[in-house]
Chain A
Amino acid sequence: MIPRRPLTRPNMSSIRWLLTFILLIVGVSVQNSDAAGPLNVYVVNYPLKYFAERIGGDHVRVKFPVAADVDPAYWNPDLADIAAYQQADLILLNGAGYAKWVANVSLPRSKIVDTSRKFKNRYIYTEEVATHSHGAAGEHAHEALAFTTWLDLEFAAQQAGAIAAALSRKRPELRNGFQSNLEALVTDLKGLDRDIQTMVSKNPAIPLIVSHPVYDYFTKRYGLNVVSVHWEPDEVLHNRQLRELKGILQQHPAKWLIWEGPPIPASVAKLKTLGIDSLVFAPCGNVPDSGDFMTVMRHNVEDLRRAFSVTQ
C-alpha cells in the first residue's frame, strides 16, 4: 500500500489558494451577469418615461431628449437624436400615431416596443379632418388618430404591461423584480381609475367643454359628456372664440371648461362672465415642473372633482 502524504502546512496553503481562486472565478462570473449594466431606454413621451422608471428601477436608464417646453407629439429630432435612439437597447413608442417623426426615420424594429399595440383595435379616430385627393387614387384622408392613450388609465396599465414585458425579454433574470414593480404601478393606476369612476358616477352626464381635442381616451373611458374647442391656455380669448362658445352653450350648457394648462386670468375672467368656471387637467405629455405622473394625475382628478361635486 502506498503511504499517503499527510496534509502538511504547505498543502493546506495550496488548498487555501485554490479555494480563493475558485471563489474569485465564481464571484466574477456572478458579477458578469450584472456587469451588462442598466438598459438604455429611449421614450417618446413622459408617461412612458415614468412607467419605465417605475418598473425598471436601477436596471434602466431612461432617456427622453425632448425639451420641457416642447410638445413631444410634434417634436422633430435632429440627426444626433436619431442616432441616439438607434443606439438604444429599447425604444418605447406610444403608438396611435404619437410622435409623427417616427414615421420618417429609420429605427431598428427589433428594439421598438409599440406600447399600445395590444389595444390598437380600440384607437380613436378623430372626426374633424380635412381630406384631400389627387392623382388616380382618388380621395384619401390624412386621418388623425387620437394619441393620448395614457389618459385612459386602463390603457395606461396595458402600456405599462407592455413595457414590463419588453424589459423582461431583455433581462429575463430580473423578470420577477419588474413584475412586482409593474404590479405596484398598476395598483396605483387602478386606484386612480376607481377614484375617477366613483367621482364621475355622481354626475355622469354633466356637460363639459375641453380646450383641446386631447382628452378623447379620457372622455371615452369615463363616459364624459364633452365638446372640444381648440384654444390655447396662454392666449387671451378673443371675441370670435367667445361667440363660438356661446353657440356651443346653446346645445351644450356646460359650466366648466377644462384647460390642458393653467389659463391666463383674463381668459378665466371672460369665461366667468358666461357662467363658466375653469379647471386644469394636464395631459402630462412632457415632464412636469414638479412632481411626477401620479402626482400630476392626482392633482388633475382633485381639480376635476370640483366639476362633479357641484350639483347642476
Chain B
Amino acid sequence: MLVACITLISFLPFALQLLLHESERQLMSRAVETPLVVGKKGSSLDLVMNTLYFGDDVPELLTMAASDRIADTDLSLPIPMYVRFKTRGNPIVGTTLDYFEFRGSKMARGRQMAVLGDCVLGARVAESLDLKPGDSLVSSPESLFDLAGVYPLKMKVAGVLQKSHTPDDRAVFVDLKTAWVIQGLGHGHQDVTQLKDPTLVLKRTESNVAATAKLFHYTEITEKNMASFHFHGNLSAYPISAIIAVPYDAKSGTILRGRYLSKNETQQIAKPEEVIDGLLQNIFRIKNVLDAVIAMVTLATVLAVILVFALSLRLRQREIQTIFKIGCSRMTTAKLIAAEIVIIIFSSAVLCSVLMVVVRSVANDLVRMLFIK
C-alpha cells in the first residue's frame, strides 16, 4: 500500500509533465511545419486549430478567390483547405494534392485520390473503421433534418496513408471539388434535356428545360455518371475554410504578411507557430498552478509517509528491543530499517518507471485523445 502510495505520488507529476511536454511537442511541431495560414478575420486560434488539427470549430468561410489572390502574388504556394464535414466522427478534409507533398505524406496502400468521389484515409481511420482501398465511406449529414443542404455522399476509398503520428492519421482526405459535392454545390443527375418521364419535367421551352424536385441527384460518383457531375457558377466564389500559404522564401513570406495588414482587410494571415505559442503560454500558466497544487499534495504525502514510517518504528519498538536483546547491534537495526525504506522507495521508483515507460509509449495517442481533438 505504501509502495502504491509513493508510486502514485511520484508518477503523477512526472506523467503530467510528460503529457504536457508531448502535447507541446505535437502542437508546436505541427505549427512550426506550417508557415502561414490565411482565413477570414476572426479568431486566429479557431483558424489554426481547424486548419492544422481539424478541430470541430469551423471558422468563418472564405472563397477560392482568396486562394487565387495568393497564387497571383507569386510569393507563396496556396493550399486551400475545406475542413467542415465529417464521416463517422472523423473530419473530412477537402484539399488539393499539394497538401500531401507539403506534409510529406506517403501512401501505405492503394493510390492517391484521382477522380471526383475518391477519398484517402488517414492510418488511424482505416484501422478503426476497418477500411481498405476499394471500400466505400459515406459522409455524415451536418444535421439530422438538413433536407436541402449537405447530404450523404458515398465516397470510394482510393488509398490509405502511412501513419504519421499527426492529426492526418485521423482524417479523411478528399479533393476540394468532392467536398463541394458533399455540400451540394456540385451535383450529378440525368441529362435534363433528354428526360422522357413527364413527371420529371416541370416546363420545357426552346431554350430551357425546368425539372421538378423529383429529379434524382446521384449520391455516389461512378465511372458511368461522373461526366454528369458539374459545378454551377464561378469556382472562385466557392467556399473554403482556410488556406495554407507556403512562401517560396522568407522574404516572400514577409511581403505576403504585409499585404494583409490593411484596416479594411477582411482576411487575416496567421503564423501558426505564434498562435500555438500563445496558447501554450496560457496552458503553462495553468500548468504552473497545477504544479503548485501537485507540489503541495506531494509535500503532504511525503509528510504522511514520514509519519507512517515514524509510527511504524514506534509500533515496532518492541520488535527492535527484542532483536537487540537477541543480539542485534543498533547499527544493524538501523541498517535493517533503512533497507526497508530503501526497498519501498526503490520498488516505487521501479513501478513509477514502468508506468512512465507505458505512458511514454502511448503519450502520442493519449495526448491526441485527451487534449487535441
Chain A residues within 8 Å of B, Cβ to Cβ: 76, 79, 82-83, 86, 100, 103-110, 130-137, 139-140, 142
Residue of B nearest to A100 (CB): B227
Interface of A is mostly: mixed
User: A133, B209: Cβ atoms under 8 Å?
Assistant: yes
Contact pick for B230, options A79, A135, A142, CB 8 Å: A142
B229 proximal to A (CB < 8 A): yes
Interface of B is mostly: mixed
Residue of A nearest to B233 (CB): A140
B32-40, B112-120, B251-259: which one contacts chain A?
B112-120
Residue of B nearest to A137 (CB): B232
- Interface membership of chain B positions 172-213, coded 1 if the CB is closer than 8 angstroms to chain A and 0 otherwise: 000101000000000001001100000000000001111111
B21-29, B53-61, B93-101, B318-326: which one contacts chain A?
B93-101
Q: A100-B227, A104-B177, A134-B211 are in contact. List 18 more A-B contacts (CB 8 A).
A: A79-B111, A83-B111, A103-B231, A105-B115, A106-B97, A106-B112, A106-B115, A110-B101, A130-B207, A130-B208, A132-B192, A132-B208, A133-B211, A134-B212, A136-B148, A139-B208, A139-B210, A142-B230
Q: Knowing A82-B115, A105-B115, A106-B113 are in contact, say whether A132-B211 is a contact too (CB < 8 A).
A: yes
Residue of A nearest to B101 (CB): A108
Contact pick for A109, options B98, B111, B210, B212, CB 8 Å: B98
User: A131, B96: Cβ atoms under 8 Å?
Assistant: no
- Interface membership of chain B positions 274-288, coded 1 if the CB is closer than 8 angstroms to chain A and 0 otherwise: 000000000000000
User: A104, B96: Cβ atoms under 8 Å?
Assistant: no
User: B112, A83: Cβ atoms under 8 Å?
Assistant: yes
Contacts of B208 in A (CB 8 A): 130-133, 139
User: A132, B209: Cβ atoms under 8 Å?
Assistant: yes
Residue of A nearest to B178 (CB): A106
Report Cα–Cα, A131/B208, bound state, in Å: 5
A232 → B minimal CB distance (Å): 21
A87 → B minimal CB distance (Å): 10
User: A131, B101: Cβ atoms under 8 Å?
Assistant: no
Report Cα–Cα, A76/B223, bound state, in Å: 11
Contacts of B113 in A (CB 8 A): 106
Report Cα–Cα, A131/B98, bound state, in Å: 35
Give 7 closest A-B pairs by Cβ, nearest first.
Answer: A132-B192, A134-B211, A108-B97, A106-B175, A82-B114, A104-B116, A131-B208
B5 proximal to A (CB < 8 A): no
Contacts of A100 in B (CB 8 A): 227
B77 proximal to A (CB < 8 A): yes
User: B189, A134: Cβ atoms under 8 Å?
Assistant: yes
B215 proximal to A (CB < 8 A): yes
User: A104, B226: Cβ atoms under 8 Å?
Assistant: yes
